[in-house]
Each structure stands twice: as C-alpha cells, then as structure tokens.
Structure 1
Amino acid sequence: MFLQKDEAFQLLADFGSPLYVYSEGILRERCGELLEAFEGRIKPSFSAKANSNLHLLRIIREEGIGADAVSPGEIFILERAGFESGEIFYICNNASEEELRFAIDRDILVSVDSLSQLETFGRINRGGSVALRINPGVGAGHCDKVVTAGCGTKFGIDPACCGEAKKIIAKYELKLIGINQHIGSLFLDAGPYVKAAGILLSIVLKHFPGLDFVDFGGGFGVPYKEGERRLDFGALRDGLFPLMDSFVERYDNKYVHFKCEPGRYIAAECGLLLGTVNAVKESFGKRYVGTDLGFNVLMRRVLYNSYHEARLLRRGAAVQRSAVLADVVGDICESGDVIAESRPVGDARKGDVIAVENAGAYGYSMASNYNSRMRPAEVLMTQRGEFKLIRAADTLESLLANF
C-alpha cells in the first residue's frame, strides 16, 4: 500500500468516504516499464476504458503512451486530455453509423469488428483508411466474461472471412492500414499471447500486404493476490521478438510497426480504494464486516468474482489478528454485494478503514449511481507527496442533473 495509515484517515476526513486515491509515481513507473520492456519495438497504447480520469490520462500521454477508445465518450475525454487524432485508435464493437462518423469526422483511425461494420464504414467513408480486428482463435483472461477471442466470443472477424473482407475493402476503395486483435483481459502467462501473435502474423502474411502496423492487443495482467507472480516481460520479448523478426523478413513493408494495448497493467496498481467500516455482525455463524464500499463503487467482485487484497486500518492502534474469517460487504441492497469473501481481516470495529488494493483499473470507470448512491471523489498523490483532488464526489443534487 503506497499510503501511510495516518494519510488514509486524513484523506477520508478531507474528501469523504469512500475514496479513490492514485499514485502518480506508480502510474509513471508502469508506463516507463512498458516502454523499456519492449525496447521501442512495440508501441503501447492505454485502453481508456480501464480508467478515464482526465488527469491520469494526461500523465499517461506525457509518458509517451498512445490511447485506445471504445466509445465516442472516450474519444471526447481523450481529446480533452490532450491526445491528438493520430494518437487515438478507435476499436469499436457493434458501433452505430453515428458512432463511426464521430471518429471519421475527427480523422481518428477506426478498427471495424465485423464484415457488416466494414460494409457500413465503406458506405459512409469511401476511400478512407481503416483497420480490421481479427479473432485469432486463441483467448485468455481471468474470467470467461473477459475472454475476447476464440470460439464463442462476439469480437473480431473470423480468419475464414478474410477473403470477403478484402472484397468489401476493394468495393469501397478503402485503404487497409492495420490489423489488430485482443485475446482477453488479465493474463500472467505469456504463452497464449505469443501464440495468438504468431497466428495473427501468419494471417497478415497470407492475406494483407502493405500494412502500416499490426496490433497484438492487450490484457496484460498484474498480481492481485499477495505472492502472485508478475507477468514476465523477458518471456514475452523472447516469444514475440523472433516472431516479429521472421515476419518482417517475409513481409513486403519492411517499415511495418507493432502495437499493444496494456490498459490494466498501466493503471491497476496505482489505485487504492478506501472505505469505512460502519457495522460488524455475526449472523448464522458467519461474520460480516459492513462497509460503505458497495458494488456501485467497485463492481469487479460481483461481476467477475475478482480478488482484491483488502486491508483493515485502525487509527492509533494495531489491528489484532483473528482466526475468524469474515466477509467484507458493502451497503448495496443485494446479497451479492461482497468486496472480499472469507478473509482473515482481523478484529474489525466500527470506524476502521478498509483499503482495497489494485483498484486503479476498472474501478471508478465502472462505478454507478445504483441505489441512488453517490460515486466517490478521486484524489491524486503527486510525486511530491501532495494530495490533489482530481474529481469531486457526486452530490445529492448531481443525481438530478439530467432530469
């Protein structure tokens, strides 16, 4: 945890509970790690869906990372964060004609996800540049809901349809400049990613000459559990670089470049979610630590059965160890509202603080006003150790903003 205990209590006093806190130092560190790991041979782009806070996006851009968007809203926010059209890649899924025009009008490159969408794109943007998302048939991820390639997923064009895609491209005089894929979210084993990259490169060699780039996609994981190993970038390089070298040797465009989309890896570990213990109870032999961290604040556990380390903090005293396991639960009116299940969090008391780690990716970006609860504030811990409000908390009045 990058915060001191006293800092956590003071932040909640200053900005309210619950609260998202981000470390600028860790965010910049992860950006630097990626750039160094790929030695300039693979260009990383941050997936804004992981965390779309304007201030964090500005930092990521300062570090030399590009951006991927999946909606007009993300394009809008990225533009406000300073990203130029050429730095944004619009990777949409089942987008409407209006959404496609939103990107086209801004000269932002679009990756289409189906033959149907390619047909629509060609009809409204004859002669334009486009990219294709291919399903390589290999998927990986921490949950079935986030495996985005292979059999049974809605994403990408079946390689068997490449011939038909080329016909549509010719029909509308489109310029195909890139191919991309995405196998899923949160892998820690380089094997599936390298395998999918090899398949994608073989598809490009067979069907698509003259591309400007190939995008291997993302899903780079981080360890959410104590003791869990980190993604081995050495193994990733050892697997990818020979494939890339062999591909370039045989490919017609020797200046083709490569991209990837490691959204979670950049943002997850820089984020901490703080909440307050409001009740502790025993019920039918089970212990519950009741907090204000409902799944409107952090949805990952109820949506994906995801794991986050949850630490109990106490002002002025140490938390006593306890052999009794407890469920850390939120304040949403559903039984699935659980942050951490059967954990040895200690002798929790009302007024203690719960710190949920690795909450920087798919935390606030998935938050909602369910149960008419307010989304929390977001605070940045700068490299100087100062704390800066980077998004205010919702208010009761903001619940009425669009009525």
Structure 2
Amino acid sequence: MPMSLEFKERLSTVVQDALAAFGTPFHIYDETGIIQTCQALNKAFTPIDGFKEYFAVKGLPNPTVMALLKAQGFGFDCASVPEIVLARKVGSNAEEIMFTSNNTTREQLKTAMDQGGCIINLDDITLIAKLPAIPDLLCFRYNPGATRQGNAIIGKPEEAKYGLTRDQIFSAYGQALDLGVKRFGLHTMMASNELNYQYMIDTADMLLELAEDVSQALDIRFEFINIGGGLGIPYKPDDRAFNLEGMAGGIIEAFEAFKAKNGWIPRLYMESARFITGPHGALVTSVINHKNTYRDYVGVDASMSALMRPGVYGAYHHIHIHGKPESAPLKTVDVVGALCENNDKFAIQRQLPETREGDILIIHDTGAHGHAMGFNYNGQLRPKELLLKTDGSIELIRRAETMDDYFATLDFKPQTITPGHP
C-alpha cells in the first residue's frame, strides 16, 4: 500500500512542528524507512559476492540523502556531470560512480573521466571514438529490441533510444579489446516501476546469457552485470508490494547455475531509485481555496512544479488529510495547484474527506522523481526538502527556491556579436 503505516504514524506526530517551523509546501523524507529498505536490499542479495546497488541519482539528487545511502554501501548511477559531482561530494570514489548517459558529448565524457574518474557505461557504439582516453574498465548498455516485451513506462525496447543492439554489443567489446581495455561490465535498463518480480529475473537471465556468449566469442570475462533499476512500488492502495525476496531468489539461482556451467561468475549491480526512497517521501501542502463549478476543486499551495508525475504521466499518488480518518464522509474532488495548466492536478475525481482552508494534505510516495523533476514554469518556485531523522528531529536539507534564484541567470555580462565580423 502507499506510504508505510509506520512512516504515516511517524509523520503524523511531527507534522505540526514541521509546519510551525518551515511552513508549507515541503517534501519530507523518512530516514528510518530509507535505511530499512537499504538493509533489506543488501540482505536479499548477500549470497551474491560483490553485490552493489548504484542508486540512480536522478530519483533524489540530495546530498544529505545520498550520504545516508553511501553509508549503507551504495554507489551512484549518474546520468550527467552535475550528478557525478554530487556523488563525489559525498565521498564516492571512481568505482562507486557509474556514468550511464545517453546522447553524450566528448566534453561530458572528458569531464566524467577527469578528477578521479568513474565507471563509463556507454549507450552507443559511436561513443567509443569519442572517449578522451582508454579506460581500464568499460561497460556497454544493451537493448534487446523485439526479443523482449517492453515495460509500460519505458515502452517497447525497439522504440527506445537507449542501448546497443546484439550485433553492436559484440562489435563494441571487440573494439574495446583492440583499444587495450582490460576490464568489462555489461548493463541494461528494461523497466520502470515494474511490480512483476519475474520480469527482473528474466532480465538477469538475459544478461547472463549474453555475457556467456560474448565471453566465449571474445575470450573476456565480465566483472559485473548491471540489470538496471525499475523495481516498482505500490502507489495505489490495492497494489501489491514488490516481491524482493522472490526476485532475489530467482537471480541467485541463475548466478549459481552460471557459475556451475562456466566456472566463473560476475558481480551483480543494480541501479534502483524509486524502490529505495520513493515510499519514504511525502509532499505536505496546505488547502488554500475551494472552487465549485462543473466540478468541486480543492486548491493547495503546492503545484505541479513540485510533483509533475500526476500531471505528465497521469500517475496516481495516494493522498490523506492530516488529522482526518479516511473513513470520514467523502466528497469527490479534483486537487489542484496554481499553475496556468489544466493538468496541474494532484488528483482527479478523487474521493477525499471534506476539507477546509488550512487543512493539511499529505501526498504519498514522492521520495523519488518528486522534487527532482520540479520546474519553474509560470515562475513557480520549488519547495524545500526536509529529513525526518531516526532520532525524531527534522532537518532542513534543501531550502525553498527564492525569486533571486529564479532571476539569477539574468545576471550576466552583456555580450553581443555581429555575424560575419570578428
């Protein structure tokens, strides 16, 4: 179900203090829940020597949370140079950072490999020629095309812009060998918010089979396979929780069979974000208006700029009203922000207890792809982020944006060119 009962209870006991100190809106994350999920993931894959989770920074790029994850032994999957910088700032070394970019420039690759480096995971065979130097360890991202069914969010693999074909994979590793690369990894990313754990087992099987084929053809051994992320969370009350133990059991069996057949075994890497932090975050917002026209609207002081998933994807995020039981008399409403867009809605025709101005709405499961996907359209300013710590204290871990932030890029040295003249 959305938001654990434990997090809901912890939040309910401190929310009034948070409101008094910080005001709304804000995202708040649950340190206790995040740590418990980290520990559960590490424990599930203990039988695979060298298992490592590379948290996808795009889900929650906050250094305070990232430091928590690093303390649990996590590395970081980065899609941009600023994300690499964040990972380095929390003390991650080169092999604790994986740079999985796409449509990457020479300059980005050079910056990624400078200043301590990282694991380079190339999305396209043409990027080999753009490497500024030959890395000791190199990885390629595989796209199986029509041989696999796509996930509802990512879509059909053959329509995705990511990864190399099977033929390109063999060619890529051959080119890497010729260039003098000594160490290798193999990566894929097939799913997003996938609740069918068998899908992830099938993905591991697919990569192990490919690793065996490439190894036999080119006489190389892979140090790791990375099955990507995509482990889902139960956003809706009737969704089942992801079966982590079932997934781990199936993958462990596949690794054992691979070792028995081949006499060696790669490490297992993953790059989940949503599964790690998603259920352990909430957007807290105040009711500021009610409007009754063709529908009944509840207006809140957060907008789609603070949580775009419902507006862009039609995604469901559960909502409860602080201090009111969900068994209270219900009213069908749209919950809306102030953005000048009709899709600026956190809920559409949702049955919720009747509200008054000043009531507090808790929007569940914003711990990944919530604040991170925020934007400034309409001059909207992104809200603050808080951390509910294990000792019960609340820490501000990102201040709210200000108008000075919004206008900062207009403060620059004037520059004009005349085309055709030096």
**Superposition TM-score tier, normalisation by shorter sequence:** over 0.9
**CA distance in structure 1 between the aligned counterparts of 2:47 and 2:75, rounded to whole angstroms:** 13
Amino acid at match of 1:233: L
5 Å matches for 1:22-33? Answer: 22-33=29-40
In the other structure, the counterpart of 1:81 is: 90
Q: Which of 204, 207, 225 lines up with 2:214 in the alignment? A: 207
5 Å matches for 1:352-371? Answer: 352-371=359-378
Greater Cα offset, 382-391 or 208-217: 208-217
Determine helix, strand or coil for the equivalent of 1:217. Answer: coil
Determine whether 1:120 maps to 2:130.
Answer: yes
In the other structure, the counterpart of 2:58 is: 49
Determine helix, strand or coil for the equivalent of 1:398. Answer: helix
In the other structure, the counterpart of 2:273 is: 263
Identity percentage of aligned residues: 26
**CA distance in structure 2 between the aligned counterparts of 1:333 and 1:10, rounded to whole angstroms:** 32
- Count matched residues: 394
Return the offset for 1:103: 1.5
Q: Is the 8 A contact 1:169 1:176 kept in 2?
A: no
Q: Is the 8 A contact 1:320 1:347 kept in 2?
A: no
5 Å matches for 1:1-400? Answer: 1-5=8-12, 7-41=14-48, 42-105=51-114, 106-121=116-131, 124-126=132-134, 128-137=136-145, 138=148, 140-141=150-151, 143-144=152-153, 146-147=154-155, 150-208=157-215, 209-251=220-262, 254=264, 256-284=266-294, 286-313=295-322, 321-400=328-407
Return the offset for 1:233: 1.9
Greater Cα offset, 129-138 or 216-225: 129-138
Deviations along 1:109-134, one digit per CA (max 9) or x if unpaired, are 1000111112322xx21364211111
**CA distance in structure 2 between the aligned counterparts of 1:109 and 1:115, rounded to whole angstroms:** 16
**CA distance in structure 1 between the aligned counterparts of 2:37 and 2:150, rounded to whole angstroms:** 22
Return the offset for 1:43: 2.0
**CA distance in structure 1 between the aligned counterparts of 2:409 and 2:286, rounded to whole angstroms:** 30
Return the offset for 1:169: 1.7
Determine helix, strand or coil for the equivalent of 1:345. Answer: strand
**CA distance in structure 2 between the aligned counterparts of 1:311 and 1:27, rounded to whole angstroms:** 21
Deviations along 1:232-288, one digit per CA (max 9) or x if unpaired, are 122212321221112222336x2521111121111111111101111112112x111
Amino acid at match of 1:48: V
Distance change in 2, residues 1:109/1:188 (3 Å): same
Q: Is the 8 A contact 2:119 2:137 kept in 1?
A: yes
- Where structure 2 has 5 or more consecutive residues not aligned to the other structure, the ranges are 1-7, 411-422
Q: Is the 8 A contact 2:298 2:334 kept in 1?
A: yes
Q: Is the 8 A contact 1:331 1:337 kept in 2?
A: yes
Q: Is the 8 A contact 1:212 1:256 kept in 2?
A: yes
Determine helix, strand or coil for the equivalent of 1:67. Answer: strand
**CA distance in structure 2 between the aligned counterparts of 1:233 and 1:4, rounded to whole angstroms:** 25
Amino acid at match of 2:120: V
Q: Is the 8 A contact 1:2 1:23 kept in 2?
A: no
**CA distance in structure 2 between the aligned counterparts of 1:237 and 1:173, rounded to whole angstroms:** 35
**CA distance in structure 1 between the aligned counterparts of 2:326 and 2:70, rounded to whole angstroms:** 40
Distance change in 2, residues 1:235/1:4 (3 Å): closer
Amino acid at match of 1:305: G
Return the offset for 1:402: 2.4
Amino acid at match of 1:237: A
Amino acid at match of 2:19: L
Distance change in 2, residues 1:248/1:281 (3 Å): same
Determine helix, strand or coil for the equivalent of 2:258. Answer: helix
- Where structure 1 has 5 or more consecutive residues not aligned to the other structure, the ranges are none
Determine helix, strand or coil for the equivalent of 2:60. Answer: coil
Q: TM-score, normalised by structure 2?
A: 0.88
Q: Is the 8 A contact 2:37 2:276 kept in 1?
A: yes
Return the offset for 1:40: 4.7
Q: TM-score, normalised by structure 1?
A: 0.92
Return the offset for 1:323: 4.2
